[in-house]
Amino acid sequence: MFDTVLDLIFPPKCGFCQKINKEYLCKKCELKINYLKKDKIRRVKNEAYSYHLFAYEYKNEIRNKILDFKFNDKPELADTFAKLLLNNKKICRFLRCYDIIIPVPMYKKKQIIRGYNQTELIAQKLAEELHLEYVCALKKIKNTQTQSKLDAKDRENNVKDAYECMDVEKISNKKVVLFDDIFTTGSTVAECAKKLKGAFEISVLTVAKD
Ligand SMILES: [Zn+2]
């Protein structure tokens, strides 16, 4: 049964398959992604940031939906991805110790063509729910090639000096969560983290890891 009149006019739907469903995901879709759940917090051995947190493996239905979100004009999927992360107690507990969340930016022209930056949309929702400050501190200053077509070494070169910190004051001495949708070789987040000089601590959160 639906709770309100509003639910009758706009019945709640599963965020993935769009079938009428009270929860944000229906049982069928939940089953399709449950086995990909990882909720990992990895201590990272690099100088740029301390931990990498991710919720899912970048495979099958999670991969399909992230690609759908990015390339098929479906900004509404931000809600579902944010909820998937917010329902992960381990990740939320960890994030509550942080001050600010910074999305990995897109090159402006690319963002205008897409209409939105998927990492910004999710990060905004996480900030609201977890009471983190949402700060767009980074700017992408080079229109790089798409990372997915490159190998590890080329990915690193491709993003080198592609980002710039626009708000050094805001991040100074803060515990920062850097947010991206997918982690593959980690070259994008490492390059972004390097530019967040002056932060007290930086950790990286992604929806999925390849
Ligand atoms: Zn569904």
Hey, what domains does the chain have and what are their CATH numbers?
Answer: 1-34 (no CATH), 37-209 (3.40.50)
pTM across the whole model: 0.93
- In the prediction, which pLDDT does 3 show? 65
Q: In whole numbers, what is the pLDDT of the chain averaged over residues?
A: 93
Are 98 and 177 within 8 A, CB to CB? yes
Separation of 119 CA from ligand 1 center, angstroms? Answer: 22
**Better-predicted residue by pLDDT, 182 or 38:** 182
Write the pLDDT tens digit of every residue in 15-32.
999 999 999 999 999 999
pLDDT of 1 > 60? The answer is no
**What does the pLDDT average to over 90-119?**
96
Separation of 71 CA from ligand 1 center, angstroms? Answer: 20
Separation of 13 CA from ligand 1 center, angstroms? Answer: 8
Write the pLDDT tens digit of every residue in 116-155.
999 999 999 999 999 999 999 999 999 998 888 888 889 8
pLDDT of 168 > 80? The answer is yes
- In the prediction, which pLDDT does 90 show? 92
- Nearest CA among 85, 33, 75, 95 for reference residue 58: 33
- In the prediction, which pLDDT does 147 show? 84
pLDDT of 63 > 80? The answer is yes
Separation of 162 CA from ligand 1 center, angstroms? Answer: 38
Separation of 25 CA from ligand 1 center, angstroms? Answer: 5
pLDDT of 6 > 80? The answer is no
The confidence band for 2, taking pLDDT boundaries of 50, 70 and 90, is: low
- In the prediction, which pLDDT does 5 show? 75
Strands (E), the chain: 37-43, 51-57, 100-103, 133-134, 138-140, 163-165, 175-183, 201-209
- In the prediction, which pLDDT does 150 show? 87
Separation of 204 CA from ligand 1 center, angstroms? Answer: 29
- C-alpha 116/C-alpha 37 separation (Å) is 26
Separation of 154 CA from ligand 1 center, angstroms? Answer: 38
Burial class (CB in 10 A: 0-12, 13-18, 19+), 111: middle
pLDDT over 90 for what percent of the chain?
82
pLDDT of 210 > 70? The answer is yes
Separation of 66 CA from ligand 1 center, angstroms? Answer: 15
